[in-house]
Structure 1
């Protein structure tokens, strides 16, 4: 059985500029098909617009308020909102107040699968 506690995970910055703490992924468990991380974006900041060729993502907002950009659409998001980000879809998230959210990727997140405009 693999059990990872969030508090024991060291944060790193993804290619899009968000601060991530991996919960379960290839770096800390025998994960093959997905990854789970906690992401945070400080108030007033925005991640760099990007897409993933392979990964489908879910964001689940835990705390804070912001604006999710997906393709040509934008929408206000807050606690309890779940967002589907299909592979190949440009996206970014802007924090009105500091955002904390879960990010699930399948296949697992990798810097190599992050592309910019």
Structure 2
């Protein structure tokens, strides 16, 4: 289509590649809403599930840890599980962005925006 246009053809190819990348990143952003990770604390007594964007979707607490005198411990475990889920969400998002960069032929260490 752009044969014989020299640099103009290269520019058109670059623009198409950039548009394709933008479309793929938009798609990935939507997919990350459905990807989930689960963080745990207290050897699995408290579990927090988040999407790959870090939004906590659910919390599961083993009933064996409920007692009035353990309130602070339970609160700490909940925070730890949520923090763990958010860390895993960031790792998952970075992993997915690296896959996208590789598919687009970009350097593996290139940081893509969210």
TM-score tier (shorter): under 0.3
TM-score, length of structure 1 as denominator length? 0.24
User: Relative contact order (alpha carbons < 8 A, sep ≥ 6): 1 or 2 greater?
Assistant: 1
TM-score, length of structure 2 as denominator length? 0.24
- Write 1 or 2 for the structure with the bigger share of helix: 2
- Write 1 or 2 for the structure with the bigger share of strand: 1
Q: If you compute each CA radius of gyration, which structure gives the higher value, 1 or 2?
A: 2
